[in-house]
């Protein structure tokens, strides 16, 4: 056996030895539970009984017949995600452009905007719940503006905007950092060439800088999309899905069905459907953004 062949075999053994623990862990944490969830979605099971009762596609029929709150929660989640993606990226880009300008307190402001992102979403939810329920009343005593007296968490329409606004506020710093990195990576030579050609500041931004931010746009939109689709803890802390079911997200609906109602079969079916929905949406968005990058 040649020395090269021995070296290849040794490298193969080392690769298997070092990757096998990670593969086993991934299988135990992700793939095996996913397969088990697929089986439980075809059963009626309360999580305690030894033998789940096989009922076929009855759980899926229950979901699409409208007997559960799943479809309504899915509608709320899509609406929240659209709001979150649009406003997170627009505000983050505007603030990133402002924070890349040269002024003394730029780094301080960057840190201030990033602080909410490193805080627990549950803590953020409780802080804003206090602000909406008590803090605004104190401000109203000083500044009697009528909007401060509105029931921001008690009105179904306002509750959506309250939850969405807090979600955008909490995650804004992360997207600002990504856009700042993209802006700082724009070659200065290109901007100088555009200036020599007579381009104004606005023209340089929209015709030079924005097209070069394609990778940053793809990353930020994909991250904000996934964060919007999996929203859970901030709603749990702020409204617990209320008033009524006005702010019930799909993840909260699945949690409620499985762990509160002890209906693991129906909860698993909802999780499988939601997995497919998220998979389709994220792939379509990634494909669209990739094509956009190619065009630019």
| Domain CATH number, residue 159 | 1.10.3720.10
Q: Do 150 and 35 fall into the same domain?
A: no
What's the predicted TM-score (pTM) here?
0.89
Q: Do 111 and 256 fall into the same domain?
A: yes
Tell me, what's the pLDDT at 194?
Answer: 85
Tell me, what's the pLDDT at 201?
Answer: 81
The reply to whether 53 falls in a domain is no
Tell me, what's the pLDDT at 295?
Answer: 59
Tell me, what's the pLDDT at 294?
Answer: 59
Q: Do 224 and 185 fall into the same domain?
A: yes
Tell me, what's the pLDDT at 138?
Answer: 85
With CA atoms as reference, report the closest residue to 228 among 152, 160, 153, 180. Answer: 160
CA pair distance 267, 205, nearest whole angstrom: 48
The reply to whether 272 falls in a domain is yes
The reply to whether 162 falls in a domain is yes
What domain range is 92 assigned to?
Answer: 68-295
Q: Do 9 and 80 fall into the same domain?
A: no
Tell me, what's the pLDDT at 49?
Answer: 82
Number of domains in the chain: 2
The reply to whether 49 falls in a domain is no
Residues of the chain with pLDDT under 50: none
Q: Do 203 and 278 fall into the same domain?
A: yes
CA pair distance 142, 132, nearest whole angstrom: 16
Residue indicated by tokens 């059963």: 43
Q: Do 14 and 137 fall into the same domain?
A: no
The reply to whether 257 falls in a domain is yes
The reply to whether 52 falls in a domain is no
């Amino acid at each position: 056996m040649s020395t090269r062949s021995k070296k290849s075999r040794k490298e193969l053994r080392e690769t298997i030895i070092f990757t096998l623990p990670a593969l086993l862990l991934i299988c135990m944490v992700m793939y095996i539970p996913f397969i088990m969830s697929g089986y439980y979605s075809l059963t009626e099971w309360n999580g305690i009984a030894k033998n789940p009762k096989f009922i076929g596609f009855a759980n899926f029929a229950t979901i699409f017949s409208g007997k559960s709150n799943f479809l309504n929660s899915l509608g709320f989640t899509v609406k929240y995600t659209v709001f979150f993606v649009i406003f997170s990226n627009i505000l983050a880009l505007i603030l990133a452009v402002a924070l890349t300008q040269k002024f003394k307190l730029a780094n301080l402001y960057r840190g201030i905007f990033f602080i909410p992102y490193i805080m627990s979403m549950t803590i953020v939810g409780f802080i804003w719940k206090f602000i909406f329920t008590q803090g605004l009343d104190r401000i109203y005593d000083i500044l009697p503006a009528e909007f401060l007296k509105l029931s921001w968490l008690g009105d179904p329409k306002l509750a959506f905007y309250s939850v969405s606004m807090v979600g955008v506020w909490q995650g804004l710093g992360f997207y600002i950092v990504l856009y700042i990195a993209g802006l700082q990576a724009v070659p200065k030579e290109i901007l100088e060439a555009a200036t020599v050609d007579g381009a104004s500041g606005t023209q340089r931004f929209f015709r030079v800088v924005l097209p070069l931010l394609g990778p940053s746009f793809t990353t930020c939109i994909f991250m904000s999309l996934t964060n919007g689709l999996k929203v859970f803890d901030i709603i749990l802390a702020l409204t617990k899905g209320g008033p009524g079911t006005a702010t019930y997200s799909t993840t909260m609906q699945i949690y409620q069905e499985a762990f509160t109602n002890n209906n693991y079969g129906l909860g698993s079916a909802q999780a499988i459907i939601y997995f497919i929905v998220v998979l389709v949406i994220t792939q379509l968005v990634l494909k669209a953004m990739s094509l956009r990058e190619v065009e630019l």
